[in-house]
Structure 1
């Protein structure tokens, strides 16, 4: 009996043999086309096995700094006993003759890459389906693997490249102008500690900052102060992972810091009445701060990374804080 859960698609995977042939033909005709294509493509980006072999042969010739043309590629394939399987020397000649111009090679490359990315997504979806039917798999583990796979696919489609220095200088000068308009000094996310900010000029994208110290020396208090200053004073989104304290405890400590009251007196109920009023007054200020707390105990590195990507995408977070690293879970070999 057929059900909706058992429907299997027989569609051919996304591919463009025409674009693949156009890329190969351009590479056989132009050294520049070779450079453009190799910047973006790998053999497995091609759908047709014969095209993969031809591209691999050209890649070998390029790495050996040898001329790439129909004769040299034929020779490589012949040595690999793969010439006939790709269509023979006549097929290589046909690739060159079928490409009217090499000027559009970048467009052909993008088509090949696009189809390859779609095939990779289909493969991830198929693996997801197979694992979801496996009773021995945990949903959390499956979701984590799928997210990592999709992120890997996304990253594989990103490539840097040369930029003219005039463009870079223009962007750099705009940044310098912005710094000057602020009076100089801190250009990153401020910590709120004047002496530290003078040395670091703030925390910058890509920075990894480790707060180290013996137990009960105030590491969490320092991290919370940095979070509070960045979020309230400078409107920077904060993602705070707490593996030791619950969210409500963190929120109360932040509130006490903002209201400048003794958190111990709050916990014991001995806070003077006039300071309770001050505490209530500052609730609104803290409630509007872009601070996002996660108190998942024993969170794994992979789960934290996935959550960090999500909160960054949804809330424009500029600083991630983890309190603290030793409590995180990871594979035994990586602990």
Structure 2
């Protein structure tokens, strides 16, 4: 039986070809893969040339890579210009790039395991070392290899104390100020202290109550009112199209009714407003994805790419129950939703950004006397409550009193029912559906000194 050193040359070619095909993939690939992860030396040299160009903020194409390799006298070593042309045409799609990256990393780790174990075996056979020292070397080598896997590591207490101390000093120097991203709503910010990194926030309501509109308002405010209007917001809409969402945003800030944007019957003044406010929208860093078939892995991969480019500060997902899952891994819908909520929380921690995920409420809320939602009404999964740092409900009397006097009052309550780091309570809002606009009506009493 012949043995062969583990390698995946085709996957390596696909990774290098992906960079030639789409330079936007470069940050993610450089973050995931090291030069030594490649098996072929020529691929190592090409990869290093690409990284050199990336660090110098230069375009990465076969001409620029050729120039770098020529400067280093490495062009003939890698196979010349013909090999670069072959790589640039090798990958026809980046759809499976994450798979190619994982294959390259997996085979690299296997090779390193073989190399380390062979070296350990040689040391045990040829050197005069006692068993305790030898075992210690083995443990150190295996630990070093295991840390290359995607697993968390312990953090020393002193590092955590330092982090807590820095946060405390920051809070002391910024008393009364929101420390997270502002939602654009003063009272809501005081309840939750803004949108904090690593937090999973659940916004839940019955259908047609306005949860998508409120999420859109918060997303728009987050983009416009943080980091000098340059905060990066990713919106995943699994129910509404990108056009519908942006139309709502335009209506919200321009005072043009949604219905007019659907029909195109605008006055001259409204057309001027449309032009003015769409120009303003164009300055915001908001990224939309309305792929109705998105699963949690797709969402995570897209957010990682934005984060690696420094373009991600906040994520909105509309809505949780529509995220598709691998049916082979879940026996029923409740288990699937539980897994999604856990992975959303893990994603918030990994990317260190707040995630606002919308959720449906069960019909049971309509059976209660006051029709106000509680945590027990979260649909399909108790784990949503468990995984969330904050749970917010929307309650509108108008929704249950259609046809009654005052049905168009717009009176709305935002119910903060879970908050790990802040207060619980109700906040009064006015909802104007024709403009998809939520306006805060109540103010907190300032604490006495």
**Is TM (by shorter chain) over 0.5?**
yes
Determine the structure 2 residue equivalent to 1:200: 192
When Rg is computed on C-alpha atoms for both structures, the one with the higher figure is: 1
2:225 is equivalent to residue 233 of structure 1: yes
User: After the TM superposition, which of the residue ranges 160-169 and 244-253 deviates more from structure 2?
Assistant: 160-169
CA distance in 2, matches of 1:166, 1:328: 37
Matches within 5 A, 1:92-131: 94=130, 109=140, 113-115=143-145
For structure 1, list consecutive stretches of 5 or more residues without a partner in the other structure: 18-45, 52-85, 119-152
Question: Residue 16 of structure 1 contacts residue 112 of structure 1 at CA under 8 Å; is this kept in 2?
Answer: no
2:354 is equivalent to residue 284 of structure 1: no
Determine the structure 2 residue equivalent to 1:210: 202
The size of the alignment, in residue pairs, is 224
CA distance in 2, matches of 1:161, 1:247: 45
CA deviation string 1:131-153 (max 9, x = no partner): xxxxxxxxxxxxxxxxxxxxxx2
Question: Residue 16 of structure 1 contacts residue 115 of structure 1 at CA under 8 Å; is this kept in 2?
Answer: no
Question: Residue 47 of structure 1 contacts residue 116 of structure 1 at CA under 8 Å; is this kept in 2?
Answer: no
Give, in angstroms, the shift of residue 97 of structure 1: 7.0
2:183 is equivalent to residue 191 of structure 1: yes
Matches within 5 A, 1:240-279: 240-279=235-274
CA distance in 1, matches of 2:190, 2:208: 27
Helix, strand or coil for the counterpart of 1:197? Answer: helix
CA distance in 1, matches of 2:258, 2:310: 29
RMSD across aligned C-alpha pairs, in angstroms? 4.0
Helix, strand or coil for the counterpart of 1:244? Answer: coil
CA distance in 2, matches of 1:311, 1:264: 33
Helix, strand or coil for the counterpart of 2:271? Answer: helix
CA distance in 2, matches of 1:326, 1:15: 41
CA distance in 2, matches of 1:315, 1:255: 26
Relative contact order: is structure 1 or structure 2 higher (C-alpha 8 Å, sep ≥ 6)? 2
- The structure that is helix-richer by fraction is 1
CA distance in 2, matches of 1:248, 1:260: 18
Determine the structure 1 residue equivalent to 2:111: 13
Question: Residue 239 of structure 1 contacts residue 308 of structure 1 at CA under 8 Å; is this kept in 2?
Answer: yes
- The structure that is strand-richer by fraction is 2
Matches within 5 A, 1:53-92: none
Determine the structure 2 residue equivalent to 1:315: 310
Helix, strand or coil for the counterpart of 2:209? Answer: coil
CA deviation string 1:53-78 (max 9, x = no partner): xxxxxxxxxxxxxxxxxxxxxxxxxx
2:216 is equivalent to residue 224 of structure 1: yes
Question: Residue 240 of structure 1 contacts residue 292 of structure 1 at CA under 8 Å; is this kept in 2?
Answer: yes
CA, structure 1 residues 117+209, in 2 after alignment: closer, same or farther (shift >3 Å)? closer
CA, structure 1 residues 171+92, in 2 after alignment: closer, same or farther (shift >3 Å)? farther
Give, in angstroms, the shift of residue 156 of structure 1: 2.6
CA deviation string 1:7-50 (max 9, x = no partner): x98x9933698xxxxxxxxxxxxxxxxxxxxxxxxxxxx73698
TM-score calculated relative to the size of structure 1: 0.56
Helix, strand or coil for the counterpart of 1:156? Answer: coil
2:321 is equivalent to residue 326 of structure 1: yes
Question: Residue 238 of structure 1 contacts residue 291 of structure 1 at CA under 8 Å; is this kept in 2?
Answer: yes
Determine the structure 1 residue equivalent to 2:30: none
